[in-house]
Amino acid sequence: MLAEIDAQIGVILNSEEFKFQLAAEPGLDALFREWSGLSQSVAMHPALSLTSELDHFEQSVKESDMPELQLLFYRMHAAFLEEVFVKDGPDAVLEKFNQAVLRQSQLQDQFRIGFSLLKQEQLSARGLRDEEASQLLLEETGRLLTLEPQLRNRCLLLLYIARAAVLTATPARNLSVYLDFFGEYLPQILLFRPDAGRMVQRMMATYHLRAGREQRLAWLEMAEAEARKLDLHDERPDFRFIRCMIETDEGRVDAALTALNDAEHLIYKASSRSLASRNNWVLLSEYRTLLFTLKGLEGDTAMAGQMTLLQQLAEDMGRHRHELSVMMLEWKSLQSLLMGDLEDALDGFDRAKTYRKNTPLHPWMYIDRYFSSLLAPSKKKPSAESIALELQQQGEPFYTAVMTEIMKRSPAFVTSKKALQS
């Protein structure tokens, strides 16, 4: 399938049809001339002599997808329409008017969603995620996709869905129903938005867990090859993070850590303190914290000490992140767990759980709830086992895999630490 898509992409980008598509972006000059000419004719000729011209204008509006111009004409020439539709009655006019209003509303919603997504993406880069707003954008875009008749706009809405989904706490679950559409529409997406191919390939590599390791890596390699060709060096660490996610999902922890080492080299090589670079350092520390915790639970005693360096790096590079304080609480709690300070770990997880109460589906919330229950069981709390099962059902890349493994190993680890302390 990948080879076929790659071949189609090459054919599309080098085809005369694609060059024509770029050169023939829908112009409005002819439509405006038709609107102006018809408006002048209304003042000069009998209304019933212009029915064919009105029909042609309405068809031109439909083909150009410019309902605003039709509505403007209707508002300016209501008396003319009364004469034209005297036989059919006002219902005929109202039906056309309402259809134009509905289409105009759909197009306006698409514009608004695009800039609303941009706003949420900028907030997310500073650690301010609004789960409710992102979910609403995702639902609204999905609704518009089902109503959209134009292929160009359907492709745009699919890209909006991808952008909205990754802003939520459960992107893989939210994207799952659309992944097959992305595979089906990829050639068309590239026809209208050739710059979006890399984004779609990265998304498929990250979130299409059902595709398996080899398929996901193939998508990743296609996206990275395109980035190298365009000298997009700032994107290269992202590909290593995705590689880490894929390897973690397959249980290959050492390969995942190797991918993070490669990511660190690329981030350092960029030598930038841009917002994206600083977020990369924080993400690197977060991923390593979880993988180091897993290695520590498996018996590697050196991991707890290394986690201090990760916290220092994140605190230095993540000062712009509004959730940094709760992240530090969680990371230090995992470190306390590995060091056998179970009381300190419990206090940290309980406090973090309180801070994350408004984002119940956030991956770290499962860690907070799990250890709060494991370290201090109570009839008022869900069991640690049930929380682990909830996490497994989320099916998110990286987080579900690594956190599930942490939860599997923690009961025996905690029991052994309690035995040493008693």
110-125 residue pLDDT tens: 999 999 999 999 999 8
At residue 180, the pLDDT reads: 83
Residue 389 is which amino acid?
Answer: L
At residue 23, the pLDDT reads: 46
Percentage with pLDDT > 90 across the chain: 69
264-286 residue pLDDT tens: 999 988 767 788 889 999 999 99
At residue 51, the pLDDT reads: 87
Rounded to whole angstroms, the Cα distance separating 172 from 249 reads 13
At residue 408, the pLDDT reads: 96
pLDDT at 8 over 60: no
At residue 9, the pLDDT reads: 46
Give me the half-sphere count of Cα atoms (radius 13 Å) on the Cβ side of residue 368.
23
Cite the beta strand spans of 83-214 per DSSP E. Answer: none
How is the chain split into domains, by residue range? 1-13+58-119+131-231
Q: Residue 20: which pLDDT band, with cuts at 50, 70 and 90?
A: very low
Whether 143 and 161 have beta carbons less than 8 Å apart is answered as no
Match 């841009």 to its residue by tokens.
274
Mean pLDDT calculated for residue range 401-405 = 97
Whether 306 and 292 have beta carbons less than 8 Å apart is answered as yes
50-91 residue pLDDT tens: 889 999 999 999 999 999 999 999 999 999 999 988 888 899
How would you classify residue 383: left for phi > 0, otherwise alpha for psi between -120 and 50, otherwise beta?
Answer: beta
Rounded to whole angstroms, the Cα distance separating 365 from 391 reads 10
Average pLDDT, the chain: 90
Q: Specify the pTM.
A: 0.84
At residue 197, the pLDDT reads: 86
